[in-house]
């Protein structure tokens, strides 16, 4: 019998590459979380993907440099079977060599040759010296040079202080800096820790003696507070916030907003900046959320520091074009790509979801019937309308000739439309976990946000009365940039931290960037969005996986305005045109018109449920039924029947291979389990139902049936043995098949009390036999 993947690595691959110098300390094992399940109200981490990086030792006492991905396959596989998989991982890990081996032969893809070499004897696997020379020649970096020292600085807090993609991003930046480049762009999805990356990047550069003085620039108070916490946690008093009363010029790391630096105003000479920060004051500058950069106003920061390293961080790198775009994008004129160059590293939403670092996204799409029409001025004059702010009459000249859907709730408040949409959303909350879900609703205007908050609050109070429930404080509230009491800052704090109030917030733009709400359940679009950049930033509010980290597996995106059409679109805009002096004139203030109730017939129609996936490197929405069909088809390609599935499932290596080969990986099946409300089932039952139509059984049902289904087999052993085996089977109810593969299985109180490991040692068969046999029989 040929060896499985784990045995191939242990018996064949590891010994041979060890002889060539690849010792254990040079093989880094990176494990992704693969997401987290909630079992009996508690977060239970599931197994993720395990990847093997080959690393080069360069500086004694410092961490070795990751340089290659090695993908092992079972002995009976082709040597190149894992090469495509390895190439994908190599890109994520920012390494230039990809290898796949079956223990006898290996295949290689390398960026320096841009070719695939197949079926080479494993005895000819490259040595450390060979890969180092090839790396240095390709990257044009001498690894022992002073410029490369930052690559080998230990993380503050050790290797556990970062995730693999954060390490890959930091190395990508440091490699470019080592080449003497002064401009670097990094693109990572919202929620993946760009500020975390910034602090470790500064730390490595500082320890390598590269930083003279650094500046971290943000555009919002919330981001500044977050940055101060991160940077002072690693640099202490060497990291300081710039204030208008104290520039803190002696600190090594400065954190500031554009407003504090006085570079966003209309003054040609920003006084505070010029007086406190002379030319080339900084050696390194990081610009957070650089897609939002108002280049025409704060370019002075970069222009006054031409010798500094300029680093841009963004989730949505912007490109400019001459093609007409949208006012939302035109208002922000920085061209990230032209200034910084292409991103040195990218990590998308779907990659984060696959790895388990970001929450999966279920999309509920809707269509509001009124939005398919254009409302004419003459028609509107026949309705009950009023000035939205005064309640008075609306003059003929204050009405637009036409109103289309993108104007609804901006300049035309429609009571019937708002009533229908809020009622529909509230009904979904009731069906998907209850009314007390943390939710952001993006609205078209301040007035719209205020009205939606009132309507959601009233729906909630009605529900509380009908169900005899005491209403909780501040259920729904408006949180916008306009002046309000409590302040937006205080409201955001409550939305984030309170478990007993502040559930539904309505906003326009304020919560689209820079606000971390880890336990957010829903993102809702009641506004029309034209900008892909704005859209992705809004979606990003929901991708964080909760506190404690991993306690939230998914979020829901409710789309009432076809905003999700923007998934996968490029972040392309054109420069904002500037009016010449004297051009135009004062624009007439546009009246907000309010249309009373029962003036329009409005219905909200279901367009179906979709899942966010990645195809050809772009995010796409796949209808849920098609999504399930794709998964079933992929399983069928590997598994002939349910008996084959059972044999595969009880083998950790075979099971991992099956799940890894599915579109969306293991996370896809777990998401189906969530959406089908089968959280109490092992993934085996989810797949068996999806592919073979079997009625799913819960973990508890399978454990309870084990005794009577296997009575004849159990009766062949002593009573004490039967007790231990039954106790092992009962562990399945706790966490499924992986519970029986845990190293602490025999330490479970139920197993210990029944006689434990020692009881099974007295039998002719080894203890592993009983565990494996129990796994098979549980799934029968």
3-state class of 555 per DSSP? strand
Q: Which of 157-166, 168-177, 686-695, 750-759 has the highest mean pLDDT?
A: 168-177
- pLDDT tops 50 at residue 399: yes
* pLDDT grade for 576, boundaries at 50, 70 and 90: very low
pLDDT of residue 419: 97
The token pair that represents 610 in the structure block: 């979709």
Q: For residue 450, what are the CA distances in angstroms to 443, 602, 635, 659?
A: 9, 21, 49, 46
Is the pLDDT reported for residue 45 higher than 70?
Answer: no
Instruction: Specify the higher pLDDT residue, 735 or 160.
Output: 735
Q: What is the pLDDT of residues 473-510, one digit of tens each?
A: 999 999 987 777 788 878 888 888 888 999 999 999 87
For residue 298, what pLDDT is reported? 60
Instruction: Identify the pLDDT of residue 49.
Output: 58
Confidence of residue 657 (pLDDT cuts 50, 70, 90): confident
Cβ within 8 Å of residue 554, ≥6 positions away: 359, 360, 361, 362, 671, 674
Quick one: pLDDT band at residue 47, thresholds 50, 70, 90? low
Mean pLDDT of the chain: 85
Residue found by looking up tokens 């500044």 in the block:
224
pLDDT score of 582: 35
How much is the pLDDT for 221? 77
Using the structure block, give the residue that is written with the tokens 């946690």. 233
pLDDT band at 554 (very low <50, low <70, confident <90, very high): confident
Query: Is it the case that residue 206 has pLDDT exceeding 70?
Result: yes
Tell me what the mean pLDDT of segment 732-759 comes to.
87
Q: Where is average pLDDT lowest: 132-136, 469-473, 545-549, 724-728? A: 545-549
Q: For 658-706, what is each residue's pLDDT tens digit?
A: 887 787 677 778 878 878 888 899 999 999 998 988 889 999 999 999 9
Of 110-119, 262-271, 526-535, the poorest mean pLDDT is in 262-271
Which DSSP string do the residues of 100-137 spell out, in sequence order? EE-SSEEEEEETTTTEEEEEEEGGGPPPHHHHHHHHHH
CB contact at 8 A, 210 and 223: no
Give the pLDDT score at 333: 38
* pLDDT tens digits for range 282-317: 999 998 877 665 455 567 888 899 999 999 888 776
Q: Give the integer Cα–Cα distance in Å for 167 and 161.
A: 10
Average pLDDT over residues 350-378: 88
User: In whole angstroms, how far apart are CA 249 and each of 102, 186, 241, 284, 478?
Assistant: 58, 27, 10, 14, 39
Q: Rounded to an integer, what distance in angstroms lies between the CA atom of residue 640 and that of residue 644? A: 6
**322 or 193, which is more confident?**
193
Q: How confident is the model at residue 161 (pLDDT cuts 50, 70, 90)?
A: confident
pLDDT for 512: 65
Rg of the chain over all Cα atoms, to the nearest angstrom: 30
Task: State pLDDT tens for residues 319-349.
Answer: 544 444 444 443 333 466 777 888 999 998 8
Q: What pLDDT, on a 0 to 100 scale, did the predictor assign at position 355?
A: 79
Give the pLDDT of residue 322: 46
């Amino acid at each position: 019998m040929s060896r499985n993947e784990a045995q191939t690595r242990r018996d064949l691959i590891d010994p041979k590459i060890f002889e060539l110098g690849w010792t254990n300390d040079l093989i880094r094992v990176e494990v992704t979380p693969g997401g987290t399940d909630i079992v009996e109200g508690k977060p239970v981490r599931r197994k993720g993907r395990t990847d093997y990086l080959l690393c080069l030792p360069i500086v004694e006492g410092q961490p070795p440099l990751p340089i290659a991905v090695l993908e092992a396959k079972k002995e009976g596989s082709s040597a190149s079977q894992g090469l495509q998989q390895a190439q994908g991982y190599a890109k994520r890990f920012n390494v230039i060599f990809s290898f796949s081996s079956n223990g006898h032969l290996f295949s290689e893809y390398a960026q320096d040759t841009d070719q695939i070499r197949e079926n080479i004897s494993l005895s000819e696997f490259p040595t450390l010296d060979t890969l180092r020379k090839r790396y240095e020649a390709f990257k044009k970096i001498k690894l022992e040079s002073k410029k490369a020292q930052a690559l080998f600085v230990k993380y503050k807090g050790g290797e556990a202080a970062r995730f693999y993609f954060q390490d890959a991003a930091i190395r990508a930046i440091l490699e470019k800096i080592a080449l003497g480049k002064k401009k670097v762009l990094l693109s990572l999805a919202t929620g993946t820790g760009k500020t975390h990356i910034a602090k470790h990047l500064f730390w490595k550069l500082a320890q390598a003696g590269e930083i003279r003085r650094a500046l971290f620039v943000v555009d919002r108070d919330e981001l500044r507070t977050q940055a101060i916490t991160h940077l002072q946690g690693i640099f202490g008093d060497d990291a300081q916030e710039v204030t208008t009363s104290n520039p803190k010029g002696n600190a090594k790391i400065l954190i500031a907003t554009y407003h504090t630096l006085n570079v966003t105003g209309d003054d040609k000479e920003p006084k505070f900046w010029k007086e406190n920060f002379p030319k080339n004051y900084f050696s390194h500058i990081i610009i957070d959320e650089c897609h939002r950069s108002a280049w025409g106003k704060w370019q002075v920061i970069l222009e006054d520091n031409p010798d500094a390293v300029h680093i841009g961080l963004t989730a949505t790198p912007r490109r400019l074009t001459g093609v007409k775009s949208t006012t939302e994008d035109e208002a922000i004129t920085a061209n990230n790509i032209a200034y910084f160059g292409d991103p040195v590293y990218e990590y998308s939403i779907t990659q984060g979801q696959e790895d388990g670092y970001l929450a999966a996204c279920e999309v509920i799409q809707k269509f509001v019937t009124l939005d398919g029409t254009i409302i004419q001025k003459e028609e509107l004059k026949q309705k009950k309308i009023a000035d939205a702010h005064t309640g008075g009459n609306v003059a003929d000249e204050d009405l637009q000739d036409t109103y289309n859907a993108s104007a609804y709730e901006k300049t035309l408040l429609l009571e019937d439309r708002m009533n229908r949409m809020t009622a529909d959303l509230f009904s979904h909350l009731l069906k998907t976990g209850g009314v007390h879900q943390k939710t952001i609703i993006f609205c078209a205007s301040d007035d719209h946000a205020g009205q939606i908050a009132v309507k959601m609050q009233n729906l909630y109070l009605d529900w509380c009365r009908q169900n005899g429930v005491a209403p909780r404080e501040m259920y729904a509230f408006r949180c916008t940039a306009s002046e309000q009491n409590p302040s937006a800052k205080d409201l955001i704090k409550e939305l984030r931290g309170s478990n007993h109030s502040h559930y539904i917030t309505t906003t326009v733009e304020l919560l689209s960037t820079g606000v971390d709400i880890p336990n957010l359940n829903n993102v809702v679009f009641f506004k029309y969005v034209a900008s892909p950049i704005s859209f992705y930033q809004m979606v990003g509010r929901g991708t964080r996986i909760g506190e404690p980290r991993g306690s939230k597996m998914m979020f829901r995106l409710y789309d009432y305005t076809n905003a999700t059409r923007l998934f996968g679109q490029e972040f392309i805009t054109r420069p904002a045109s500037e009016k010449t002096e004297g051009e135009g004139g004062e624009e007439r203030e546009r009246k907000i018109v309010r249309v009373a109730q029962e003036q329009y017939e409005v219905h909200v129609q279901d367009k179906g449920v979709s899942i966010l996936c990645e195809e050809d490197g772009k995010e796409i929405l796949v209808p849920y039924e098609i999504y399930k069909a794709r998964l079933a088809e992929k399983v069928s390609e590997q598994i002939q029947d349910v008996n084959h599935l059972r044999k595969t499932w009880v083998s950790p290596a075979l099971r991992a291979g099956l799940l890894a080969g599915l579109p969306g990986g293991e996370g896809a099946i777990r998401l189906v389990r969530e959406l089908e409300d089968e959280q109490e089932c092992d993934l085996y039952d989810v797949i068996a139902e999806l592919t073979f139509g079997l009625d799913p059984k819960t973990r508890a049902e399978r454990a309870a049936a084990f005794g009577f289904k296997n009575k004849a087999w159990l009766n062949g052993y002593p009573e004490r043995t039967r007790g231990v085996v039954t106790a092992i089977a009962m562990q399945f109810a706790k966490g499924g098949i992986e519970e029986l593969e845990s190293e602490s299985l025999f330490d479970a109180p139920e197993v210990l009390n029944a006689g434990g490991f020692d009881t099974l040692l007295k039998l002719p068969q080894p203890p592993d036999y009983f565990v494996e046999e129990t796994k098979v029989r549980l799934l029968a």
